[in-house]
Amino acid sequence: MQLIPCPWCGPRDEPEFVYGGEPAVRPIPAGSVSGEVWSDYLHFRTNTKGRARELWCHSAGCAQWFLLERDTVTHAIYAAIKPGATA
């Protein structure tokens, strides 16, 4: 079982977490962007092969969301970053 390092709680078992997808910047104001831009935001992801940043939530623990930098091929974890932190 893989351990994921929650920035607040430390390493915990992977089933305690929920994957939130790739971080994306919501187009604003949402009502004035084109349908194509909105569709891209909703439906298209890069699906990076290799080192990537993802949103994760420690749903069975502190319920905090954070960025997890990991390798999608090897599952190596490089960093767990609190929202607003620079890394």
Binding of residue 9 to Zn ion (CB under 5 A) = yes
Footprint of Zn ion on residues 29-68 (CB under 5 A)? Answer: 58, 61-62
Sign, Cα dihedral of 76, 78, 84, 86: negative
Any residues with CB less than 8 A from the CB of 37 and at least 6 apart, and which? Answer: 27
Report the residue number, 8 or 78, with the smaller CB distance to Zn ion.
Answer: 8
Report the residue number, 52 or 62, with the smaller CB distance to Zn ion.
Answer: 62
- Chain residues in the site for Zn ion (CB under 5 A): 6, 8-9, 58, 61-62
